Amino acid sequence: MNHIIRYHLKLALILLIAMVITAGTASAITYNLSTGTVDKTMPDGTVVTMWGFGFTGGPITVPGPELVVPPGDTTLEINLTNNLSDSVSIIIPGQTATMTPVWINPTTGAVTSTGSRIPGDTTSRVRSLTVETAGLGGTHTYMWTNVQPGTYLYKSGTHMQVQVPMGLYGAMKKNSIAGSAYPGRPYDVDQVLLFSDIDPVIVGAVIAGKYGSACANPPCTMTSTNSYKARYFLINGEPFSYSRSAIPIGTAGQTTLLRFINAGSHEFLPVIQGLYMDVIAEDGKPYPFSKSQYSLLLAGGKSIDALITPAASGYIPLYDRSLHLTNAAGSPGGLRVYLNVPNAPQSLTVSRAGTGTGIVRATGLPGGIDCGTDCTESYNLGTVVGLTAYPDPGSIFSGWTGVDAGTETLPSATVTIGAAPVAVTATFALPAIPPSGTSLTLKRPNSGKVKKSKPYKIKWKFIAPPGPTIKIELFQNDLFVATVTDAAPAGTPNKKGKGKGLFLWTVDPTILDGTGYQIRITSTTDPTFVDLSNKTFKIVP
Amino acid sequence: MKRITEKRLILMVSVITMLLLPGVLVAAIPGITGPDFSLTAKTGTVVVDDGSNIFMWGFANGTGSMQYPAPTLIVTEGQLVTVSLTNQLPVNVSIVFPGQTGVTATGGVPGLLTNDAAPGGTVTYTFTAGQPGTYTYYSGTQPELQVEMGLVGALIIRPLQGPKYAYNDAATVFDREYLFVLSEMDPPIHVKVQQGKFDEIDNSEAYPVAWFMNGRAGMDTVAANNDPIFPHQPYAALALMQPGERVLVRMVGAGRDLHPFHLHGNHHRVIAKDGRLLKSGLTTDLSEGAFTTSVGPGQTFDAIWSWTGANMGWDFYGHKGPNGEIGQACVDAGVALQPGESLADHCKPIPVAPPDNKDMFFGPLYTGSPYLGGAGPLPPGEGGFNPYGAYPFMWHSHAEKELTSYNVFPGGMLTWALVVPPGLLQPEP
């Protein structure tokens, strides 16, 4: 080889070595994460400001971004920038790392030592399980060598009873080889299912600087997490609501690896419907023999890996059988998702029409539509979507177009998804007010005044049976004010079908005194039975 | 053993006496066999052991009364099962069958887990009974409220190998079987439902203060099946067995909480979970010995429990020879072995001298003799609550708070297993 080529080779070799050195070891992966705050809106409208991780330069999320360590990499580095005011850290239970705990004086909060307590010091407490990243822009690099395959939870190791429920957690995963989490257990598609919960009261106190025995913004309203009471329950950062879309997994016949992790403060008990899971590992350690179960006891901090191989396309319900299925007191909500085994999806779009108002929800599985806010969703071929129309108070539902034949007039209809997109319209109407003297007649109040200080008898009569119950609504100046009652007994018809009824109305003290009021009565089963006060009346104390 | 009030024990002795009369069959697990079932969702009440009532929603068999837990459905693998549900509640209701595949629903309206029956309406569920085992069924409509209200029960699928097998596996043979449906309740939620105040219910705040086994609380668990005092709670939770018998214990988590089910007297061997044998392939046994099994909500477990005199070091029958011989002389006299004895301990007397009665404090179940089936002199007023000389073992939730009803012990999730002298129980059919 002549000396020029040898020179070029040497140069190339030097450059190659230089590249390897500047890239770090060949078997390491590095992530740049930052902390910050993020507003999460719960389905009931409650906004909770939380703490979370995000890729530096990207959005903060709860849970934080999914960290993937490729099969060939044995080292994970996280360069953390902490924009919160409190110090934080990162730990990954199950992965080994050198841990240097941080001890503090429990009264002043000042750091007293790192590593071990100073001999003779019996009062300092651990605030962090490992080195802290200082707040307000501090940085630190955390490193794990000999990273093991499996499914893991990364989270703050600092003041954990506060910082983990505040949202500082996320999933980390590594495969033993491409397509296999563990040797001999291949999969086609994987999906993390990270369970967690939120106590908005404690989170709110932390954000407002009112948490702790010495807080930034006295008075301190919450001195500990002893009273932790979760009100919202999330899978992958979202509670269930009608608008939540199903989570796509492998197609029929493919094997999906479900990576369950629990970052919450309770154990949960997810159950799967219609098939069994092949449970293959726990805490990142594969079982020597897998177990066939439809349920998992998912303790706090735990990870469990399970394979499923659905035989057909469709939606697989997965929900918490310890029944954390609400959003605060609202239902449905909480820990419920649908796993979508996809097949030729088409979109279903809902529109609303008419002079009245109302909402439409997909009340059959897998949900996905809550219209007003979410009026379109894709569903697999053959799905029978159940839709329900809910008229607003004062409106009535008058029918559907685009739904399955035979369900056009029912408040709950079905739409069978075929080979083309579907458009459905729900029509809401304001019922026409008929002249007096028709089937149902309001006898009082038709004028005069209604006193708040004692119950008022609303009376009506009818010349044909109006059905079992009457809805009574209050209007002022033609605008709807309140529902007096959804279902007052209508009164028993005599042999000729005539009769009368009354309702004892205690006027709600929040209704303002004034003029221009009218009562409207409507049969709950037949909206043609309707009447309105002939003239307006006053409401007085 | 904690002191038990006498009036509660009257229940117990009446049960034992009645069930042990010669010729009385010890029931296999009571239930209905279908495979076509007609269930009605309706209201009812249950009685707690303090005498109070709780308003319930539950399933009834056809036009019968609501019962809690729901009727135990017993079918055989491979049968085509249909469950027609008629709804007499004021809200939608449905049924889901965890562990069953290919369940189809006809009629009703689409709900979030399956088709619901609207108030006054019906829906029919059809499925082929899958692998044998112990399963559960419950309402899939707003389960956080409806399971609390009582719409939950057990489903048993028998193997083709035969009704005395739990699974198609010779190792799962049993002599007797018992079902334990474990649940709990937050009664103020039931009051609000009864009053129609659904908007005031916060199911995320459910806080149980009453615990149940097979729908009965406290000492009521040992009253007989179909005891007329409990018109809506037909199932007992008392387990009776003879020494050496293999008892299949089917456990169902039916509430929202996990319960550590603790069986005194011996370890049990958990052979299956969620209706699947703990076994890999044909030969790898993954069953586990335990004395407490954490039964999570919605989960099921099958276990085999047996009591023998193994390793006791003395003959628990108190055998003696025709002239009162004990020890080797009793063996040489040809005194026969009885069920559950170990050869090594045959004829060995108890190796302690029982203290004088005046130095003892008596539990109400002590017969005056340490031997199974035995009786001995007792001071006046003591004893009488264990007329057949059984060995009683408490089977209960080991979350001690759950042994109360409204904060009063004894109550809640407790029952007994009674090892009775052989010959007193008929074989299970």
CA distance A226 to A388: 42
Q: pLDDT tens for residues B132-162?
A: 999 999 999 999 999 999 999 999 999 999 9
- Is residue B126 within 8 angstroms of chain A, CB to CB? no
To which residue do tokens 């040898």 refer?
Answer: A6
Q: Is the pLDDT reported for residue B1 higher than 50? A: no
Record: contact B142-A332, CB cut-off 8 A: yes
Chain B residues 387-426 with a CB less than 8 Å from chain A: none
Task: Work out the pLDDT band at B282, boundaries 50, 70, 90.
Answer: confident
Chain A residues with CB inside 8 Å of B252's CB? none
Burial of A26 (0-12, 13-18, 19+ CB in 10 A): exposed
Q: What is the mean pLDDT of residues B291-306?
A: 98
CA distance A114 to A130: 9
Q: Are strands A303-308 and A285-293 parallel, antiparallel or unpaired?
A: unpaired
Radius of gyration of chain B (CA): 23
Record: contact B299-A297, CB cut-off 8 A: yes
Q: Is the pLDDT reported for residue B13 higher than 90? A: no
Which chain A residues have any C-beta within 8 angstroms of a chain B C-beta? 230-231, 267, 269, 271, 273-276, 289-295, 297, 317, 319, 321-326, 328-329, 331-332, 334, 336, 363-365, 367, 384-386, 412, 414
Phi first, then psi, for residue A207 (nearest 5°) are: -60, -35
What confidence score (pLDDT) does residue A529 get? 86
What confidence score (pLDDT) does residue A510 get? 86
Q: Measured between CA atoms, how close is B329 to chain A, in angstroms?
A: 52
Q: What are B6's two structure tokens?
A: 């006498």
What confidence score (pLDDT) does residue B25 get? 42
Q: Measured between CA atoms, how close is B144 to chain A, in angstroms?
A: 5
Record: contact B98-A328, CB cut-off 8 A: no
Q: Measured between CA atoms, how close is B20 to chain A, in angstroms?
A: 39
What confidence score (pLDDT) does residue A8 get? 59
What confidence score (pLDDT) does residue A452 get? 93
CB-nearest partner of A331 from B203, B284, B294: B203
Q: Measured between CA atoms, how close is A15 to chain B, in angstroms?
A: 55
* Entry field: residues in chain B: 429
Task: Work out the pLDDT band at B15, boundaries 50, 70, 90.
Answer: low
Q: Are strands B104-107 and B122-128 parallel, antiparallel or unpaired?
A: antiparallel
Q: Is the pLDDT reported for residue B26 higher than 70? A: no
Q: Report the percentage of chain B scoring pLDDT > 90.
A: 83
Least confident piece of the model among A99-108, B10-19, B357-366: B10-19
What confidence score (pLDDT) does residue B165 get? 97
* Nearest in space to A196 (alpha carbons), one of A244, A239, A227: A239
Burial of B71 (0-12, 13-18, 19+ CB in 10 A): buried
Chain B residues with CB inside 8 Å of A326's CB? 144, 202-204
Q: Are B283 and B316 in contact (CB under 8 A)?
A: no
What confidence score (pLDDT) does residue B59 get? 98
Q: What is the mean pLDDT of residues B21-38?
A: 74
CA distance B405 to B409: 7
Chain A residues with CB inside 8 Å of B99's CB? 276, 294
Chain B residues with CB inside 8 Å of A323's CB? 143-144, 147-148, 203, 206, 256, 297
What confidence score (pLDDT) does residue A19 get? 44
What confidence score (pLDDT) does residue A464 get? 85
Q: Is B330 helix (H, G, I), strand (E, B) or coil?
A: helix
What confidence score (pLDDT) does residue B17 get? 54
Residue of B nearest to A363 (CA): B111
Record: contact A323-B296, CB cut-off 8 A: no
Q: Measured between CA atoms, how close is B4 to chain A, in angstroms?
A: 32
Record: contact A293-B256, CB cut-off 8 A: no
> Which contiguous run of DSSP H or E holds residue A201?
helix A200-207
Q: What is the mean pLDDT of residues B181-190?
A: 98
- pLDDT, one tens digit for every residue, chain A (541 residues): 455 555 555 555 555 544 444 444 458 999 999 999 999 999 999 999 999 999 999 999 999 999 999 999 999 999 999 999 999 999 999 999 999 999 999 888 899 999 999 999 999 999 999 999 999 999 999 999 999 999 999 999 999 999 999 999 999 999 999 999 999 999 999 999 999 999 999 999 999 999 998 899 999 999 999 999 999 999 999 999 999 999 999 999 999 999 999 999 999 999 999 999 999 999 999 999 999 999 999 999 999 999 999 999 999 999 999 999 999 999 999 999 999 999 999 999 999 999 999 999 999 999 999 998 999 999 999 999 999 999 887 788 999 999 999 999 889 999 999 999 999 999 998 876 544 445 789 999 999 999 999 999 999 999 888 888 999 999 988 888 889 998 899 998 888 888 999 999 999 888 889 999 999 999 888 877 888 998 999 999 9
Residue of B nearest to A273 (CA): B98
Q: pLDDT tens for residues B63-109?
A: 999 999 999 999 999 999 999 999 999 999 999 999 999 999 999 99
Record: contact A386-B111, CB cut-off 8 A: yes
Chain A residues with CB inside 8 Å of B278's CB? 291
Maximum Cα–Cα distance across chain A: 119
Q: pLDDT tens for residues B231-245?
A: 999 999 999 999 999
Q: Report the percentage of chain B scoring pLDDT > 70.
A: 94
Chain A residues with CB inside 8 Å of B296's CB? 269, 295, 297, 321-322
Q: Are A274 and A308 in contact (CB under 8 A)?
A: no
What confidence score (pLDDT) does residue A2 get? 53
Kindly report the three-state secondary structure assignment for every residue of A14-69: HHHHHHHHHCCCCCEEEEEEEEEEEEEECCCCCEEEEEEEEECCCCCECCCCCEEE
* Nearest in space to A92 (alpha carbons), one of A112, A73, A106, A78: A78
- Is residue B173 within 8 angstroms of chain A, CB to CB? no
CB-nearest partner of A322 from B113, B284, B297: B297
Residue type, position A468, single letter: P
Residue of A nearest to B273 (CA): A293
| Cα distances (angstroms) measured from residue B285 to each of B88, B269, B289 | 47, 11, 12
> Which contiguous run of DSSP H or E holds residue A161?
helix A160-166
Record: contact B145-A363, CB cut-off 8 A: no
Q: Are strands A277-282 and A232-235 parallel, antiparallel or unpaired?
A: unpaired
Q: What is the mean pLDDT of residues B151-176?
A: 97
Q: Are B201 and B145 in contact (CB under 8 A)?
A: yes
Q: What is the mean pLDDT of residues B361-384?
A: 89
CA distance A418 to A403: 12
β strands within B68-194, DSSP E: 73-76, 80-87, 104-107, 109-110, 115-116, 122-128, 133-138, 152-158, 176-185
Q: Measured between CA atoms, how close is A207 to chain B, in angstroms?
A: 24
Record: contact B112-A336, CB cut-off 8 A: yes
- Is residue B145 within 8 angstroms of chain A, CB to CB? yes
CA distance B367 to B370: 8
Residue of B nearest to A319 (CA): B113
Record: contact B276-A331, CB cut-off 8 A: no
Chain A residues with CB inside 8 Å of B202's CB? 326, 328-329
Chain B residues with CB inside 8 Å of A488's CB? none
Distance of CA A383 to the CA centre of its chain: 23
- Is residue B286 within 8 angstroms of chain A, CB to CB? yes
Distance of CA B142 to the CA centre of its chain: 27
- Is residue B160 within 8 angstroms of chain A, CB to CB? no
Chain B residues with CB inside 8 Å of A297's CB? 258, 294, 296, 299
What confidence score (pLDDT) does residue B41 get? 98
CB-nearest partner of A321 from B110, B276, B297: B297
Which of B144, B189, B202 should we substitute to test contact with A (largest number of A Cβ atoms within 10 Å)? Answer: B144
What confidence score (pLDDT) does residue B2 get? 42
- Is residue B283 within 8 angstroms of chain A, CB to CB? no
| ipTM entry | 0.94
CA distance B256 to A321: 7
Q: What are A177's two structure tokens?
A: 């080889």
HSE (side-chain half, CA atoms, 13 Å) at A271: 28
β strands within B129-207, DSSP E: 133-138, 152-158, 176-185
